[in-house]
Structure 1
Amino acid sequence: MTVNDYIQQKFQTFGINLSEADLLDMCLTSKISGEDEMNEDCYDRVSVAMAKFIPSLLLRPTSIGESGFSMSWDIKGIKDYYSFLCKKYGLKDELNTDKPKVKFL
Structure 2
Amino acid sequence: MTVNDYISQKFQTFGISLSEADLLEISLSSGISGEDEMDQPNIGLVSVAMAKFIPSLLLRATSISENGFSMSWNIEGLKEYYSFLCKKYGLEDTLSDKPKVRFL
So what's the TM-score if we normalise by structure 2?
A: 0.93
- Structure 2 partner of 1:94: 94
Structure 1 runs (4+) deviating above 3 angstroms are none
Aligned positions of 1:13-92 closer than 5 A = 13-92=13-92
- Give the CA RMSD over aligned residues: 1.3
Structure 1's unaligned 5+ residue stretches are 100-105
Question: Secondary structure in 1 aligned to 2:46?
Answer: helix
- State the TM-score, normalized to the length of structure 1: 0.92
Structure 2: 5+ residue runs without aligned partners?
Answer: 100-104
Larger radius of gyration: 1
1:20-48 deviations in whole A, cap 9, x for unaligned?
00000001100000000000010000000
Q: Deviations over 1:72-94 (max 9, x none)?
A: 01000000000000000000001
Identity %: 73
> Can you list the C-alpha shifts for 1:8-67, whole angstroms capped at 9, x where unaligned?
000000000000000000011000000000000100000000000000000001100001
